[in-house]
Structure 1
Amino acid sequence: MVEIVTDWRGLPERLRGAAVAIGAFDGVHRGHQAVIAGAREAARSLGAPLAIVSFSPHPRRWFQPGAAPFRLMTPGQMARALEPLDVDRLYLLPFDAEMAGMSDEAFAREVLCEGLGVRHAAVGFDFTYGQGRTGSPEGLRRHGEILGFGVTVCPRVDDPHGLKLSSSAVREALKAGDMARAAAILGRPFAIEGEVLHGDKRGRTIGVPTANIALGDYMRPAYGIYAVRARLPDGRTFDGVASLGVRPMWALEEPLLEVWLFDFDGDLYGQTLETELVAYLRGEEHFDSLDALKVQIDADARAARAVLAPGGTAC
């Protein structure tokens, strides 16, 4: 399990001295994984722990507090995505006025050297840091030479099929409802994690009980119906079909993820569910009657089961 550390000040020695990869790492996509691989190689060479240096909130949220929701994962999802990459520790540092006001030299000296005691740092080719984004990979390398840690700069990683491996490319794919492209960039399906909330319970009246999850600061994928696979807190997984959006027949003020789990009978209220959006089936629609809606839900369920079956393909 990846250990999460939420500050750089006053750390005991056991939490210092790692080889680190630095960045926002929202999505921990395949491009991010290449940077982490550079840190992992250094960690093995030095006999040091492997750690990630990231920030909470995302720097974009600090500088653009009114920006539309854009996150691809929660801190908990980030930690789980880092586990198979042999990461020991996630430094999830507070991005506040102090951090935002640091010069690139101060960040390297106060945070990386004096605070975390890093032995090596890996960054991407386009990494910027420090007040006004004055810091660059080459600048970090110069600071490292003075402060006593090495620096690896990971070049741009290109997918052989022409995919751009970036968080913005993931968001573009999700906005288009192209879940296969998003998964190809991420290396896994995009998933929304959240607490199951009480809703208006309309689904129960038509035999379709749903687990309702607020989207919070997640970016909004294309509104519509999805084939999904959900993981319960006890580790069990269930296939299902979900509506994501504002529900035209009974309009919502805020978009909601409403998940119907196939072959599940139980109470999920208050529990945390992680739902993979495996395939986009269709857009949102308004139906003239409840009977017409029920017919379409049955069709959606059949389509979702077909996609999610072994060997199934997206529509």
Structure 2
Amino acid sequence: PDAAEAHWGLGLVAIAENRPSAARDHGRRAYEISERPRFALGLAQWAAVDGDYAAAGDALATYLALAPEDPSAESYRRLQRFYRELGRAPVNVIDDRVTRLQLSFDLKPGDEIPYVPVRINGRESAYILFDTGAERNVIDRSYAESIGAGPIFPGGPLHGAYRQSPGGYAIVDSVAFGSVTVQRVPFAVGDFAALNLRGQGDYYIAAVINPALVFRDFLVILDLGHRRIELVRYGAGGETYVGRQTRLRKNAIPFHFDVNGVWPVVPVSLDGARALPFLVDTGASDVFIARETAAALMLDPARFVASAGGYSREDLRFLILDGALAEPWGIAVHGILGFPFFRGMRVAFDYRSMTMVLEN
């Protein structure tokens, strides 16, 4: 590849390893060598992951100057204005004195994904989905309006399979997880009724939150057997967890982020075949496999075996996934590893070592 593509490739490696600052350095170098729209758009995405929304807005301005005919140009202008607003002050702020948190969650029968009770802007408790497969934090429009969450900035469809909702954007003053409060939390805004997310009986879903966007300074543990979330800050014990657990012969699986910098991707073997990249999605109540992959491996939708990191789950079922899941220049994801694989397990995400630890 040419020098620009070489730096771009190094940027992809850096973001996969949760090194957004290094990814931005390589992205800037790629753009300096060759002013390609893709590089500017990637820089905007990686700056946002790195929490530098002012720089993300500048990169979007560069992209729009290079690609004014993009059908989504007006949507990106709106996102740029939102980034400018976010850049006025820090986001996802957690008191440095907070080192640990334990919080119970619910698993709704038949769905079995983590419904976490939180208090948004100090209001009555509402449920969010704790969802590693969410590319952005998303809040329900009607809920946001009902609690007076502040101005809702206009949105619009962006590139990518998961960013087509017209929605909008909002900044929530606070989200309280038990005794821990996260301040100034950015959200995309979605119509949950249209997405069939609101009608969950007693489980009214107010928002979807990806821990990689809010708790990246913590080891994040989902104990699906005991229905408990545990957070341990790095520097207060979180950094030693993987070493301690792997010495106890737990299953440690390296993971990488996709180009968006938030999706955890792990190698998964299906029916003993060569391992393929799968998105780990704690918000998915099923396992999904790309149509082409299922056909090539001649998988039985009603019964197959999935293996990851030395752990296997038999007699799984899967649903067919049609269409591209990720960006064309990101990891070629072949499916979604949802709750059935993790049922009853304790799943830890270590964003420092980029390791997922499974305990059965």
Scaled by the length of structure 1, the TM-score of the pair is 0.25
More strand, by proportion: 2
Rg larger for:
1
More helix, by proportion: 1
Scaled by the length of structure 2, the TM-score of the pair is 0.23
